[in-house]
Amino acid sequence: MAKRIVTLPGDGIGPEIMAPTLSILRELGDFDFEEHLIGGAAIDACGVALSDETLAAARSADAVLLAAVGGPRWDSTDPQAPRPEQGLLGLRKGLGLYANLRPVRPLPALAEASPLRAQLIEGVDLLVVRELTGGIYFGEKRREADSASDLCIYSEAEIERIARSAFGLARAKVTSVDKANVLETSRLWREVVSRVHSEEFPHIALEHMLVDNAAMQLLAAPRHFDVILTENMFGDILSDEAAMLTGSIGMLPSASLGAGGPGLFEPVHGSAPDIAGRGLANPLAMFLSAALMLRLGLRMEAEAAAIESAVAGALDAGLRTSDLGGSATTAEATRAVLEGLMARKS
């Protein structure tokens, strides 16, 4: 029976990188793709960034594949105006997705594209595990005439479940990142993570690190990290910083998972409206997000590995899009990866 995948191309370069991704997936299995609107495209069509119809379709799917949302045409300082990002936040909440996984593995072929020296990034293989449903992004927001506030709240249950996810994924060590010298939510975070570690995962090493130090160590000693566990806003910032170890944010995939139901798989980069419609977008992070979907969402390990191998092979052969210092178009990048898949199958 075909796996049912809800596809959400979204805004900007989203449709341009979604279409070739589906062509690659069709080479690897039997899938039923069902496209829906999200983000700015949904605002234009129905006035909201995430419609009830789209959320219902996502809930009944085997997996959800999203490209990108956002763009300057929907920017507004009016707190009542719908924003594209509300679609993504609503989707995460509606699907109960609390764990965002962002693997960072710089490829040898792209060593020269990284802003760090090759000897610093050689052997880096880390995973950022970001809590998705709590914290300042979801707290009560207030705006007065001359002030504003955003409430940051975390419960013990929210911290426990994301901590279990991180320890379960770690090979040897979890680095829990917080700001416990200042924030009460971080003090609770540190207490709960320590308890989960001692009671359930004593065989995995645990260290606590303040977020400012973690940001520095990601650049100074990235091989130090195995799994980075952190709350919503810190994870948002640190995972984008970690993406640059690979040479471009256009290379980083992500997965968002919950206790049950479909996962959401998307590249970390944004909608890049400045290059939308020009055929210049790097589709590789989208391809790698599809690989994560196959591995973590559909338990298709061989097919996931095939995409990752084809991407690595194309880069080894010299493929470089503009964000990687080259001139390859979206179509040329897609063709190179498809050729790699065909060669593997023959």
Determine the longest span between alpha carbons in the chain, in angstroms.
67
| Closest C-alpha among 115, 13, 91 to residue 256 | 91
| Residue 281 in this model has a pLDDT that exceeds 70 | yes
Domain 1-104+252-346 has CATH 3.40.50.970: no
Contact 13, 249 (CB under 8 A): no
Q: DSSP alpha helices (H): ranges in the chain?
A: 14-26, 40-46, 52-59, 84-94, 118-121, 156-169, 184-200, 211-220, 232-243, 284-292, 301-316, 330-345
3.40.718.10, 3.90.950.10, 3.40.50.300, 3.40.50.10490: which CATH number matches 115-246?
A: 3.40.718.10
212 is catalytic: yes
Tell me which of 125, 212, 274, 316 is the catalytic residue.
Answer: 212
Give the pLDDT band (50/70/90) at residue 164.
Answer: very high
Are 23 and 337 a contacting pair, CB within 8 Å? no
Q: Which residues pair with 32 in a beta bridge?
A: 4
Query: Contact at 8 Å (CB) between 62 and 5?
Result: yes
| Tokens standing for residue 190 | 């540190």
pLDDT of residue 345: 72
Residue in this structure with the two tokens 């300042």, named with its chain if needed = 136
Catalytic choice (240, 274, 316, 345): 240
pLDDT above 90 (res 98): yes
With a cut of 70, say whether residue 346 has pLDDT above it.
Answer: no
Confidence band (pLDDT; 50, 70, 90) for 75? confident
The more confidently predicted of residues 248 and 9 is: 9
Q: How far is CA 334 from CA 17, 65, 323, 331, in A?
A: 9, 17, 15, 5
What is the pLDDT, as a whole number, of residue 157? Answer: 97
**Active-site residue, 240 included:** yes
Q: Is 75 a catalytic residue?
A: no
According to CATH, where is 3.40.718.10 located in the chain?
1-104+252-346, 115-246
Q: Does 276 have pLDDT greater than 90? A: yes
- The Cα–Cα gap between 214 and 217 comes to 5
The string of pLDDT tens digits covering residues 175-213 is 999 999 999 999 999 999 999 999 999 999 999 999 999
In this predicted model, what pLDDT tens digit does every residue of 40-68 receive, in sequence order? 999 999 999 999 999 999 999 999 999 99
